[in-house]
Structure formats: structure tokens, C-alpha cells
Structure 1
């Protein structure tokens, strides 16, 4: 009997870290988001030296709130509060909807800024980065909501959606340490690939975790990860096409 009790306790000790894996991943996403934007947003904001349109501040508030919400929602089922997790899910739908709306608005605001400094074509080309990113997030989030009755798929889709947002945060460190001197304009689209691949290392962590526990990566990570990387790589050639310039230029024209 003592042996059975000891084995049960041992299994409990082993199971506990596994139960909190997605919560820990959500905390990692929140940390990357906060630290990534620290040099270009949080620290200048604290010093009173950051200037930006109100839509930029509201966008930042929504996206940072998302990281906290995602961490809290990941903690609830891990701690056995599944009913709370489900009850608060509708709040996530509202928050994600607002993020998509303001993500598009900030992308248009960036195009307007680029046009104001004499770089309209560069701004239109770069707009594919935030617009494709928010579109990918919206699609994966919608799939996650549709899969709420399949928890193993749902939580992996939510993690994929969260990781897909982190390339902008990592890019801020590249911008801080590697950007050439001079006035800032929209960067070339290809320079966004390296920061994205660094951010996607969190997805590699999730894949390795599945591989060790299940013997294979979950299809969400296989197909979703391939789609995520494909979107990032295709941004470059698509951003140079007349079709994209017509589409994004039309958004800019409607906003002016």
C-alpha cells in the first residue's frame, strides 16, 4: 500500500509540470512581448519621450492586455478551473476582435506616416507585414474558437495564435541594435524574416514538448507552423507586386 501511495505521489509530481506547460508558454509569450517593446515603447513612454497617435496607444493597450488575458486563461484549466476558463472565453472573442480592428488601423496609420515623410511606396510595401500578421492571428483564433470541444487542438491553436504575434516584439530589438543611423522610415520587408524566425523558436519548444510526450508533433504545429513560416516568407515577393500596391494603396487612399 505504501508503495502504491508513493507511486501515486511520484506520478503527481511528474504530471504537475506537464499540466502547467501551456501556462508557462503563455508567460513566455507575455515576457517576450513586454521585453520586446521595452526599448521602443515602454521605456520611452515612462520617460515621456514617446510620441504617437492615440490609435497606437490603444493598439498597444489591447495587445498587451491580450498577453495577460492569454496567460490567465492558460492558468485556469491548469489549476482545475475549467468552468471559469469557458465562462471568460467570450471576453477573449471580444478582445481578439478589437485587436484585429486596431491592428488594421495601426497598419494604415503607419502607411500615412510613411507617406508624410515622402516614402509612400515603401510604407505600402511594408504594410503587408502587419496586415498579414493580424490576418493570420484572426484565422487561427477563429479556428481555436471553433475547436473548443477539442481541448488538445484548441489549446495548441491558441498558442500558435499567440506566438504569431511575437515577431513585432522581437523585431524591436533588431531595430534598436542593428538599424542604421538616421531618420526611421519603413524598413525593407526582408529584414522582418530573421526576427520572426527567432520568435518562432517558441513554436519549436512546443513541437519538442509534443514529440517527447506523444512521439510526434501535433498536426496544429505541423500545418500551422508551416503556414506561419510560409506567410512570413511570401510577404517579401507579394509586397512588390502591383496587386498588393493597389490593395494597400486603396486602404491608404480611403484613410486620407
Structure 2
């Protein structure tokens, strides 16, 4: 009898842990986002030594608001408040839409700032990083909304979307503590790969969790993860092509 009771308690604890896994992952994403931007945004902002255009500040507000909203939605789902989770879902849609627009504007801002210091080509090349990143986020988020009534798919797509935008936060630590001093302007596209793969370790955690719980990773992680990695690896060679410079350069010309 004691063994049976212990087994039931263990089973209940395991179920509870599985239910709150995505909440804990959302917390981890938020922590990476906030800590990542601490040395280059939050601390300088608190010290009143940070100067940026309104576009950058609006971008920061939206993306950090998303991090908090993601945590809230994950908690509501984990605690069984599904009705509340769905009732405020349109807030997430509005945030994601605004983030997509702002991500595009920030990409244009990168090109403008680079041109101002005489590095137009470097800015056009680097713009592939934010543009491809926000495009991936937007597509995966849209798929998550389309699969809202398929919770196993929906929550994994939401987590994939959340992880996909963390490379910029991790990159700030690389730039702050590892990057050698250099001229003003965007960094080479190649240096964005390592921070991205550090951020993607959270996806590895999710895959391992699936493997233990389901015996295999969910297709969202397999297909979505492979696409995410492929995009990041292809950013570097594609950014050097004439086709990319024509495409992004055209966007830059229209924004002038």
C-alpha cells in the first residue's frame, strides 16, 4: 500500500512537472532576453548613458513585453486557466504583429546607421540577420495561432518562436565581453552564428524533454529546428551575394 501511494505521488509530481515545463521554458526565455540586454541596454538606460532612436526603444519595449506575455500565457495554460489563456490571445497576436513591423524597421535602421559611418555594404549584408530572424518568428507564430486548437503543436510552436529571437540577446554578451574593439558599424554576419547556437541550447532542452516524455521529439522541433539552424548558417553566405544586396539595397533605397 505504501509503495502504491508513493508511486501515485511520484506520478502526480511527474504530471505536474510536465504540465509546467513550458512555463519554466518561457521563464528561461525571458531571463535570457533580460539578462542578455542588461549590459548594453538596461544598465546604460538606468545610468542615463544610453542614446538611441525612438525605433530602437519601441523595439525594446515590444520585445520585452512579448517575453512577459509569453510567461503569463504559459502560466495560464499550465495552471489550467485555458479560457483566460484564449481570451487574451489577441494581445499576443497584436504584439507579434507589432514586433514584426518593428523588426523590419530596425533592420532598415541598421542599414541607415551603417551608411552614416561609410559602411553601406556592411549594413546591407548584416540586415539579413534581423530580417531573416523576424521573418522566421512571424511565420512560426502564425503557424502557432493556426494550430491553437492543437495544444501539443501550438505550445511547441510558441516555444520555438520564443527561442528563435533570443540570439540577439546572447550576442550582446559576446559583443560586450569577447569582441575586440573595432571601428563603428555592424559586426560581420559570421559572428552571429555562435551566439545563436548558444540560444538554441534551449531548443535542445525541449527536444530532450520530448524524448523522455514521448520517446521521440515532436515534428515541430525536428522540422522547425532544422529550418532555424539552416537559416542561421545560410545567413553568412547569402549576405555576400549580389542577389541579397539588390534585395536589401532596394529596401534601403525605398526607406531613404
> What range is the shorter-chain TM-score in?
over 0.9
User: Is the 2:44–2:50 Cα contact (8 Å) retained in structure 1?
Assistant: yes
1:182, distance to aligned residue in structure 2 (A): 3.5
Q: Deviations over 1:157-202 (max 9, x none)?
A: 0000000000000000010012221443111111100000000000
The farther-off stretch of 181-190 and 229-238 is 181-190
Q: Deviations over 1:114-153 (max 9, x none)?
A: 0000000000000000000000000000110111111000
Q: Secondary structure at the match of 1:158?
A: helix
SS at match of 1:133: helix
Deviation per CA, 1:209-242, whole angstroms, max 9, x where unpaired?
0001111010000000000000000101110111
The answer for the alignment partner of 1:35 in structure 2 is 35
Per the alignment, residue 137 of structure 2 pairs with: 137
Give 1:206's aligned residue.
206
Q: Would you say the 8 A contact 2:117–2:184 is kept in 1?
A: no
Q: Does 1:163 align with 2:175?
A: no
- Which residue does 1:93 correspond to in 2? 93
Distance of 1:147 and 1:104 partners within structure 2:
25
Shift of 1:249: 0.8
Aligned-pair CA distance for 1:9: 3.4
Gap runs ≥5 in structure 1: none
Secondary structure of 1:224's match? helix
Matches within 5 A, 1:1-256: 7-256=7-256
Q: TM-score w.r.t. structure 2 length?
A: 0.97
Q: Is the 8 A contact 2:210 2:217 kept in 1?
A: yes
Runs of 5+ consecutive residues of structure 2 not aligned to the other structure: none
- Deviation, 1:14, is 2.1
Moved over 6 A (4+): none
TM-score norm. by structure 1 comes to: 0.97
SS at match of 1:49: coil
TM superposition shift of 1:253: 1.1
Q: Please give the per-residue CA displacement for 1:11-70, whole angstroms capped at 9, x wherever unaligned.
A: 222211111000000000000000000011111111111110001000000000000000
**Structure 1 residue 78 displacement after superposition:** 0.6
In 1, distance between residues paired with 2:87 and 2:4? 37
Superposed CA RMSD: 1.3
Number of residue pairs aligned between Structure 1 and Structure 2: 256
Q: C-alpha separation between the residues in 2 aligned to 1:218 and 1:202?
A: 15
Q: In structure 2, how many angstroms separate the alpha carbons of the residues matched to 1:14 and 1:178?
A: 40
Say if 1:103 and 1:9 are closer, same or farther in 2 by CA, change over 3 A.
same
